Chain A
Amino acid sequence: MEASKKSGGHREMLESMYSVIALVFILVACVELCDAATAVDVYRLIQYDMSGSPFGSRFAALNHHAASLHFPPGADLSRTVLIIPLRELNITFIRDYINQKKPLGGLLFLLPEVFSFENGGNKQIHEKEKMKNLLAQLEQLLINANIPYPVYFAFENDEIDTVLAAIKRNDLIGQPATATTGGYKLVISTPEPKKVASPTITNIQGWLSGLKADGEANQLPTIAIVASYDTFGAAPALSVGSDSNGSGVVALLEVARLFSLLYSNPKTRGRYNLLFGLTSGGPYNYNGTQKWLRSFDQRLHESIDYAICLNSIGSWDNELWIHVSKPPENAYIKQIFYGFSNVAEELDLKVGMKHKKINISNPRVAWEHEQFSRLRVTAATLSEFSVAPELLEGTGGLFDNRQFVNETAIIRGVKLVAESLARHIYGHQGKNVQIFADDSSLAVNPAYVQSWLDLLSRTPRVAPFLSKNDPFVMALKKELADHTDEVKMQHEILEGIFTFYDSTSARLNIYQVASVTFDLLLLLVLGSYLIVLFSFLVITTRGLDDLISLFRRPPSRKVKTA
């Protein structure tokens, strides 16, 4: 009995020892984690190779002192990080720095808090247009440059503002931070960025069957409505692309919902099939669309009457553009255009047509409909842009967030597309019939549009960083499945000239460091303090003679023998 008690006691002691050791480890680890005065989420500039040439910021880890734009002229910044709030940004300065390849430890851009999709949802932005232009210019500059140091974006908050104010004060008195003068140190410890192996692009298609009369052997004609859902921007962790192309995705989903209502009743089901396509790989010359089209079989190809591609219909006032590649004199194109412009007149908006010839030998695909046209399918793109954006431009950058999109514009766009399609399907061209009237059961649902737009504005969607089973892609699939008969997902590898690197966001620790000279001074002071203490104690307890005798050499032997 006693022996077992003893062994039980031993075991308990061992267990309590283990828990104490574990506690000590946890304590040590905890202190490591919350060591810095300030810790901020930062988002890295994209790093990619295009046809082998490197672009973007090539490094991720950071361990340098901080300086503001008020640094003393002529200072050596090769081991310094410049913190630049957007308000003080001078594009020419950055451009010079990058183009002349001046050495710099790193760049940290501070974006106003209203741009953050987590916090600044409802605040107004002052000087909207100016900021938008500035950000667009900055983005284009950074994306097309090869920058050999880390570049990060962060949102302003109170902590960073106080730190920046302190750094500015130090800089103005001419004391840039180095190892010997103290200041602030920015540390980001992430592993070196690696290539994203086999980035996948996922196309989602939804099929809504039309009403086939009994005994009809032929395939019903099909109308395709397509929108690309992925984005590309300077900071991939911030590329939510509310307008490009979140607005297109939202419009497509709403149109799908409306037509699924119509098609659910056999009496109102049209004699056209509807094919909804959410494609990926948009910024990369609509690579995904091309692969999607190549996967169609011949019968489907031939049955497509025409395709409408939606691209950025979220921030327009009164005018939309229809872009085509077939000449405007083409009968089909004329039909599509008249259909749209009739509805547009009723909705009190203007629709213009732009024709851009495609050059098969040029790999650049500016609009999504060009991929259809290359396979001889009639297609057009509806967009608020009158001119085609350049490669990697207008694909959902830093400024393209919820603030700059207007759901009223999207709702009007949905009405336009839905009415035009319906009139074509049900043969009411030219007639003033409002199928999706505002108070009917088929009205466009503003809440639906708003909630999907909000979701899209919170989800960064750069294709190489979206895995196959990403929850957002699954959500799109489920939503499309709710509105259509049959949904298919197609996973492809993003080939071509682009290679991407990971590490898109990190945590920045800002430490306030004292300089080495401070510690040296402290050592001197402490040394003298201890010496004074020593002398004081010797004098008071043993007498002054003892203190002096400590320093006097012992009497030499010569004196003794003498």
Chain B
Amino acid sequence: MTVFHFFNCAILTFGPHAVYYSATPLSEYDTLGTSVKAALVYLGTALVKLVCLATFLNVSENDGFDPYQELLKALIGFIDVAGLYFALTQLTHRNISQNHKFQAVGLGWAFADSVLHRLAPLWVGARGLEFTWDYILQGLEANANLVLSISLAALGSLMWLRKNKPKTLIPIIYACAGIVATMPSITSYLRRGLGWHFPKVVGFELFTSLVMAFISWQLFSACQRPSA
């Protein structure tokens, strides 16, 4: 609904990324390059996922929840994790501490995800005359996605970059990582299988993202203690 509304929704969708970058020490240590590289890795991952989905998935006519198809989608979703692994471990980063590395990678990852998935609908839809709540909800979803990406990056860096972890915490780390990685399948199940409406799904996403962020923060600080 008009350019003003588009501007508002754009701020909601992309603002937090910019705020995150400038508020945290990321801006001081000039980690923009890392974020950009992470965004490019996301792009590559998305293309690979697209090809796999196109090859292996068959499109069903009705909008119901098909367990087999969802399982396939979840498996393909693990390509995401592989991409994140590549971004965290294989890319050469300048000397930035692990603490900031995962944040920069998570930020770049989330930003690329928002741009790819939400910019086009926003540009095309939010400028029209008709008003819907969809774009505001989409912006909130982008916020939740940012938090989830950073938590996933944190858990990923714990799993692959930190060598000495307390033995008891390892299964918890892997479990949390699994949950965050399969988040897309969970939301799709909620929307299609249980028939939840968009606002409810977005609320659920926000809640779980905050919970997972808190858990991964605790895990991260717990693992930090021995090496500190």
Contacts and interface: CB of A to CB of B under 8 A. Distances in A.
Contacts of A511: 128-131
A514 B23 contact: no
Interface in B71-111: none
Given A534-B23, A541-B25, A519 B2 contact: yes
Interface in A24-49: 27-28, 31-32, 35-37
Contacts of B16: 530, 533
B24 A530 contact: no
Contacts of A536: 23
A36 B129 CA distance: 8
Interface of A is mostly: helix
Specify the main secondary structure of chain B where it touches its partner.
Answer: helix
B117 to A, nearest CB: 15
A391 to B, nearest CB: 43
Contacts of A519: 1-2, 4-5, 8
A187 interface: yes
Contacts of B228: none
A526 B15 contact: yes
| Chain A interface size, under 10 / 10 to 19 / 20 to 34 / 35 or more | 20 to 34
For the side of the interface on B, what is the size category? 20 to 34
Given A530-B11, A537-B24, A28 B19 contact: no
Contact of A542 (B1, B8, B20, B24): B24
Interface in B1-30: 1-2, 4-5, 8, 11-12, 15-16, 19-20, 22-25
Nearest to A527: B11
A330 to B, nearest CB: 68
B131 A513 contact: yes
A522 interface: yes
A185 interface: yes
Contacts of A31: 124-125, 128
Given A526-B8, A526-B12, A533 B129 contact: no
A535 B24 CA distance: 10
A99 B25 CA distance: 72
B131 A28 contact: no
Interface in A496-542: 511-514, 516, 519, 522-523, 526, 530, 533-538, 541-542
B177 to A, nearest CB: 23
Contacts of A534: 19, 22-23
A542 B25 CA distance: 7
A185 B129 contact: yes
Nearest to B26: A541
B25 A523 contact: no
A36 B5 contact: no
Given A512-B130, A530-B16, A522 B8 contact: yes
A538 B28 CA distance: 12
Contacts of B23: 533-538, 541
B130 to A, nearest CB: 5
Given A519-B2, A538-B23, A512 B131 contact: yes
A478 B19 CA distance: 76
B103 to A, nearest CB: 9
B111 to A, nearest CB: 15
Given A511-B129, A514-B131, A519-B5, A526 B124 contact: no
B2 to A, nearest CB: 7
Contacts of B8: 519, 522-523, 526
A362 B23 CA distance: 89
A533 B139 CA distance: 15
Contacts of B130: 35-37, 511-513
Contact of A513 (B20, B22, B129, B136): B129
Contacts of A513: 1, 129-131
Contact of A533 (B1, B2, B5, B19): B19
12 contacts: A28-B124, A31-B124, A32-B128, A37-B130, A512-B131, A519-B4, A522-B5, A522-B8, A523-B8, A533-B16, A538-B24, A542-B24
Given A35-B129, A522-B136, A542-B25, 15 more contacts: A32-B128, A35-B130, A37-B130, A182-B131, A187-B129, A513-B1, A514-B5, A523-B4, A523-B11, A526-B15, A530-B11, A533-B23, A537-B19, A537-B24, A538-B23
